[in-house]
């Protein structure tokens, strides 16, 4: 059972440097984080609602990769308040901190104000490019109290890469000015010539206002409540704080929820799993960002709150059965930014799909290459793959026609610049020496290595990328058939089969019982046991008997920590359970492994992966799966070990829950046949019944339950059906039952 557990421990060892884009950390923050995000603005606060008061280098209010506020706190009669408790709303709309005064001593007179006399209710939310804060002060004493409230604030306008630990040769100039009785404007003129501003507006006007503090003197009668408001705008004038607070809160909630969409819902018989599902869905909604192309799932907070190609594509795949509209937005945005020319500075090549975009000063100046950066080898085949899967899911031929030129350009890149030596494998070597050395999803500098631990020299052909290309070619062939391009479809199918044969010959390591991590620049295999091979398994490129060997290896203790599957098996030369990519556990990685197991009917490993991750999430703050956590073996009565600088929330970690549910259910769909099929479902007894409501297929929808039986089979019940739609259970033996 998934019972309420103890808090997890923290991994406080600094990871090995991943220069030049290594994220430095001295360990876990001294106070728990609270995260808010609304479109391109996000805030990292502590559980007091303060910014810049705990040992958290990421603390701040950010907009477009710039920290617009580096400090915001309040003192009561010269003392920091005491924390009673704090909560995040379940939908991530706002955070509330309940504080109180400590004992306030008066010189020569003992205690002038007993602790727990004044209740401070602090409510914070983000909206319209800024932060709104309401502070309510309630006197629960029998006598009037006099309060001297001092707000401290500052803005360093640090670029996000500075916050991550990079040092700059020079910075721009700061300016601070008091405007009238209630405003302070903090501004920064960057070396790029852009002026970035933060405006703080106080309501009512403070008794004293300086460039760094606002002082309020307040007397509260017994049971009296007074409220102070702070409105903070990034690159814009502040609005009257009191008038706008409730108005802004209403509109922030409306923007977060958005228009009613026809998406599925899911719950189970297990209350903890339901909390994890709800948290994941709330985090995904928060990470969805309005762009000129529609909504896009930004990758994660605090380090990756921007458009990432790979992350957006995989997140959309995770959610495809649940909410296919996400895929449409991702494809549309990435199609618009598809490279059309060669540019070594950004690793761009015609047809290549974006890796990352940044809007900060360092990107504008070229101090980091990520303004528009194309240094990922897998985004392009994943783009083609998602396009095909989206059409299979929705039948949206009109949109396929719209992006078909982009799909063709991506396929041309796969055949051309993506395979510079024409050996049939897509590979990478950075063109910009300041760019990423490794350009797969494991993009830290030491992620690709040989059995002796030596780093692989490029160009490098990753095992999973060949699988992505194989699957992309196959779905592109299906799309070509839909558009009447039969000759192109036949060519793509032939290319896929040729790639499959070459892949088996070049990557299989018989003595390891798995596939090589990669081929280096000399076409020598990196004979290392990694989770990368499981990504290839999920694409269907593997021979079934070899897929079984890969699966068996992944479930052994050298891979399986008890919480999940490690990125690198213990015993490998660079294995380190505290590293970013060489022994840690990534939820999205595990979900893809589960999808691969389901694809080959190797269902015995799915439930342990699902249970391990759900039990890990039960230990996490807010039941939130982070980007990654450390890969130490599971120990009795202890939770998993955190990775201090992991993004949390992270889009594909949140999406992993829905990918895992797809694997557990063996969920497939056929729009032409109006049928949802559950192939070899393996619902763990720990979660009991799964209920899916309003799953749509074309213009029809169905609600159904799936319940595990002691025999190991499942029973399926239809709750509601609208239109022509069927559900079938398909077992290994070929038996099926329709409902």
- Res 10 pLDDT > 60: no
Domain co-membership, 312 together with 211: no
Q: Is residue 396 domain-resident?
A: yes
293 within some domain: yes
Q: Judge whether residue 733 has pLDDT over 60.
A: no
Q: Do 85 and 232 share a domain, yes or no?
A: yes
Task: Determine the pLDDT at residue 711.
Answer: 84
Q: Residue 258: pLDDT band by 50, 70, 90 thresholds?
A: low
Would the pLDDT of 724 be above 60? yes
Q: Are 508 and 549 in contact (CB under 8 A)?
A: no
Residue of 251 and 454 predicted with greater confidence: 454
Q: In the 3-class helix/strand/coil scheme, how is 421-435 assigned residue by residue?
A: CCCCCCCECCCCCCC
| 634 domain-assigned | yes
Q: What is the mean pLDDT of residues 22-31?
A: 68
Check residue 25 and give its pLDDT: 59
CATH (domain of 72) = 2.70.98.40
Q: Stretch 230-256: mean pLDDT, rounded?
A: 79
Residue 243 has pLDDT above 80, yes or no: no
Tens digit of pLDDT for each residue in 33-76? 999 999 999 999 999 999 998 778 899 999 999 999 999 999 99
pLDDT band at residue 7 under the 50/70/90 scheme: very low
Supply the CATH number for residue 562's domain.
Answer: 1.50.10.10
| Alpha-carbon gap, residue 38 to 128, rounded angstroms | 8
Q: Which residue is listed with tokens 């404007």?
A: 185
- One domain for residues 651 and 686: no
723 close to 711: Cβ distance less than 8 angstroms: no
Task: Tell me whether residue 236 is in a domain.
Answer: yes
Is residue 598 a part of any domain in this protein?
A: yes
Residue range 67-112, pLDDT digits in tens: 999 999 999 999 999 999 999 999 999 999 999 999 998 766 667 8
Collapsing DSSP to helix, strand or coil, 63 comes out as strand
Instruction: Say if CB 507 and CB 517 are below 8 A apart.
Output: no
Give CA–CA dist 58/361, Å, rounded.
17
Whether pLDDT at 26 is above 80: no
Q: Give residue 165's region: left, alpha or beta (phi > 0; psi -120 to 50).
A: left
Query: Radius of gyration of the chain from Cα atoms?
Result: 27
Whole-prediction pTM: 0.93
706's enclosing H/E stretch is: strand 700-708
Q: Distance (Å, rounded) from C-alpha 42 to C-alpha 296?
A: 15
Note the pLDDT of residue 732.
78
pLDDT of residue 736 exceeding 90, the answer is: no
The encoded tokens of residue 183 equal 């405003």
| pLDDT top residue among 12 and 230 | 230
Mean pLDDT of the chain: 93
Where among 257, 273, 290 does a domain terminate?
257
User: How far, in Å, are 218, 295, 327, 591, 697 from residue 320 at the CA level?
Assistant: 54, 15, 7, 14, 12
- Quote the tokens at residue 79: 């003392």
- Is the pLDDT at 246 greater than 60? The verdict is yes
What's residue 172's pLDDT? 96
Does any domain span residue 18? no
Number of domains within the chain: 3
Q: Are residues 171 and 192 in the same domain?
A: yes
Instruction: Judge if 511 and 552 occupy the same domain.
Output: yes
**Percent with pLDDT over 90 in the chain:** 86
Cα 560 to Cα 612: distance, rounded to the nearest angstrom: 9
Q: Are residues 494 and 570 in the same domain?
A: yes
Q: What is the pLDDT of residues 581-627, one digit of tens each?
A: 999 999 999 999 999 999 999 999 999 999 999 999 999 999 999 99
Rounded to the nearest angstrom, the gap between the alpha carbon of residue 180 and the centroid of all alpha carbons in its chain is: 42
Range of the domain at 724: 675-738
Residues 244 and 272 in one domain: no
pLDDT: which is higher, 29 or 661 = 661
Distance CA 100, CA 142 (A): 16
Q: What is residue 564's predicted lDDT score, i.e. its pLDDT?
A: 98
φ, ψ dihedrals at 613, nearest 5°: -70, -40
Q: So what's the pLDDT on residue 13?
A: 34
Q: Which residues contact 37 (CB under 8 A, 6 or more apart)?
A: 43, 92, 126, 286, 287, 298, 301, 305
Residues 238 and 348 in one domain: no
Question: pLDDT band at residue 256, thresholds of 50, 70 and 90?
Answer: confident
**pLDDT tens digits, residue range 176-194?**
999 999 999 999 999 999 9
Residue 19 has pLDDT above 80, yes or no: no
274 and 214 together in one domain = no
403-410 contacts, C-beta under 8 A, 24 or more apart: 403/331, 403/332, 403/335, 404/479, 404/483, 406/335, 406/338, 407/383, 407/476, 407/479, 409/338, 409/340, 409/350, 409/351, 410/338, 410/351, 410/352, 410/353, 410/380, 410/381, 410/383, 410/384, 410/472
Task: Report residue 21's pLDDT band, with 50, 70 and 90 as the boundaries.
Answer: low
Interval 162-180: pLDDT, tens: 999 999 999 999 999 999 9
- Looking at the structure, tell me whether residues 563 and 696 fall in a common domain: no
Rounded average pLDDT over 225-236: 93
Q: Which helix (H) or strand (E) segment is 507 a member of?
A: helix 486-507
pLDDT of 567 over the 50 cut: yes
SS3 assignment for 201-249: EEECCCCEECCCEEEEEEEECCCCEEEEEEEEEECCCCCCHHHHHHHHH
Residue 17 pLDDT more than 50? no
Q: Is the pLDDT of residue 238 over 60?
A: no
How high is the pLDDT of residue 241? 58
pLDDT at res. 244: 82
Is residue 563 in a domain? yes
Copy the structure tokens of residue 733. 């033996």
> b or e along 279-295 (b: 16 or more beta carbons within 10 Å of the residue's beta carbon)?
bbbbbbbbbbbebebbb
Bond into 649 cis (ω within 30): yes
Domain check: are 561 and 693 in the same one?
no
Distance (Å, whole) CA 617 – CA 612: 9
- Token pair of 83 as six digits: 């924390």
> Is the domain of 311 the same as that of 336?
yes
The DSSP element (H or E) to which 299 belongs, if any, is: none
Digit-coded pLDDT (tens) for 323-366 = 999 999 999 999 999 999 999 999 999 999 999 999 999 999 99
For 382, the token pair is: 């994943």
Q: What is the pLDDT of residues 377-421, one digit of tens each?
A: 999 999 999 999 999 999 999 999 999 999 999 999 999 999 999
pLDDT at 16 over 60: no
Indicate the residue among 257, 278, 307 that finishes a domain. 257
Question: Per residue in 462-499, pLDDT tens?
Answer: 999 999 999 999 999 999 999 999 999 999 999 999 99
- Does 416 map to a domain? yes
For tokens 């950075």, the residue is 430
Last residue of a domain, one of 230, 257, 284: 257
């Amino acid at each position: 059972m998934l019972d309420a557990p103890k808090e997890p421990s923290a991994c406080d060892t600094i990871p090995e440097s991943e220069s030049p884009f290594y994220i430095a950390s001295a360990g876990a923050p001294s106070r728990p984080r609270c995260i808010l995000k609304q479109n391109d603005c996000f805030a990292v606060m502590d559980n007091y609602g303060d910014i810049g008061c705990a040992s958290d280098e990421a603390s701040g209010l950010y907009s477009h990769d710039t920290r617009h506020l580096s400090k915001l706190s309040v003192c009561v009669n010269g003392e920091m308040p005491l924390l009673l408790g704090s909560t995040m709303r379940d939908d991530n709309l706002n955070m509330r901190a309940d504080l109180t005064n400590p004992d306030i001593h008066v010189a020569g007179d003992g205690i002038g104000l007993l602790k727990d006399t004044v209740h401070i209710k602090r409510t914070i939310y983000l909206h319209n490019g800024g932060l709104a804060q309401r502070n309510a002060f309630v006197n629960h004493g029998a006598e009037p109290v006099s309060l001297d409230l001092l707000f401290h604030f500052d803005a360093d306008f640090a670029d996000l890469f500075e916050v991550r630990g990079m040092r700059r040769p020079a910075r721009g100039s700061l300016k601070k000015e008091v405007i009238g009785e209630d405003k302070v404007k903090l501004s920064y003129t960057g070396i790029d010539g852009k002026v970035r501003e933060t405006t703080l507006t106080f309501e009512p006007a403070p008794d004293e206002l300086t460039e760094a503090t606002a002082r309020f003197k307040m007397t509260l009668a017994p049971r009296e409540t007074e409220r102070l408001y702070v409105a903070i705008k990034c690159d814009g004038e502040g609005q009257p704080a009191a008038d706008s607070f409730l108005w802004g809160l209403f509109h922030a909630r409306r923007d977060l929820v958005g228009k009613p969409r026809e998406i599925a819902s899911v719950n189970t018989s297990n209350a903890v799993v339901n909390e994890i599902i709800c948290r994941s869905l709330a985090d995904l909604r928060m990470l969805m960002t309005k762009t000129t192309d529609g909504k896009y799932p930004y990758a994660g907070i605090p380090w990756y709150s921007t458009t990432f190609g790979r992350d957006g594509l995989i997140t959309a795949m995770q959610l495809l059965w649940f909410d296919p509209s996400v895929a449409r937005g991702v494809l549309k945005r990435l199609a618009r930014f598809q490279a059309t020319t060669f540019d070594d500075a950004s690793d761009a090549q015609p047809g290549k799909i974006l890796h990352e975009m940044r809007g900060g000063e360092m990107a504008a100046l070229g101090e980091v290459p990520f303004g528009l950066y194309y240094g990922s080898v897998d985004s392009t085949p994943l783009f083609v793959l998602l396009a095909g899967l989206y059409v299979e899911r929705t039948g949206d031929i009109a949109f396929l026609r719209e992006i078909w030129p982009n799909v063709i350009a991506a396929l041309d890149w796969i055949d051309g610049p993506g395979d510079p030596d024409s050996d049939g494998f897509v590979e990478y070597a950075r063109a910009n020496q300041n760019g990423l050395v490794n350009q797969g999803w494991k993009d830290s500098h030491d992620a690709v290595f040989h059995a002796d631990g030596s780093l692989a020299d490029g160009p490098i052909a990753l095992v999973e990328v060949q699988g992505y290309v194989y699957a992309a070619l196959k779905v592109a062939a299906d799309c070509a058939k839909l558009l009447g391009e039969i000759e192109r479809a036949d060519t793509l199918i032939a290319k896929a089969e040729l790639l499959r044969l070459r892949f088996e010959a070049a990557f299989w390591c018989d003595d390891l019982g798995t596939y090589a991590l990669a081929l280096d620049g000399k076409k020598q295999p990196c004979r290392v046991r990694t989770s990368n091979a499981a990504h290839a398994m999920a694409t269907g490129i593997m021979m079934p008997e070899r897929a079984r060997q890969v699966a068996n290896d992944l479930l052994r203790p050298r891979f399986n920590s008890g919480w999940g599957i490690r990125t690198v098996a213990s015993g490998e030369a660079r294995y380190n359970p505290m590293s970013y990519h060489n022994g840690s556990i990534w939820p999205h990685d595990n979900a893809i492994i589960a999808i691969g197991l389901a694809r080959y009917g190797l269902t015995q490993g799915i439930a342990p992966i699902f249970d391990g991750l759900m039990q890990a999430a039960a230990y996490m703050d807010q039941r939130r799966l982070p980007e990654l956590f450390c890969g130490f073996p599971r120990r009795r009565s202890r939770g998993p070990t955190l990775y201090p600088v992991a993004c949390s929330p992270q889009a594909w970690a949140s999406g992993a829950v829905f990918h895992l549910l797809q694997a557990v259910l063996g969920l497939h769909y056929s729009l032409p046949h109006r049928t949802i099929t559950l192939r070899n479902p393996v619902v763990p007894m720990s979660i009991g019944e799964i209920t899916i409501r309003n799953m749509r297929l074309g213009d029809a929808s169905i609600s159904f339950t799936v319940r595990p039986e002691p025999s190991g089979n499942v029973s399926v019940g239809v709750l509601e059906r609208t239109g022509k739609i069927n559900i079938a259970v398909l077992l290994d033996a070929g038996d099926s039952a329709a409902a």
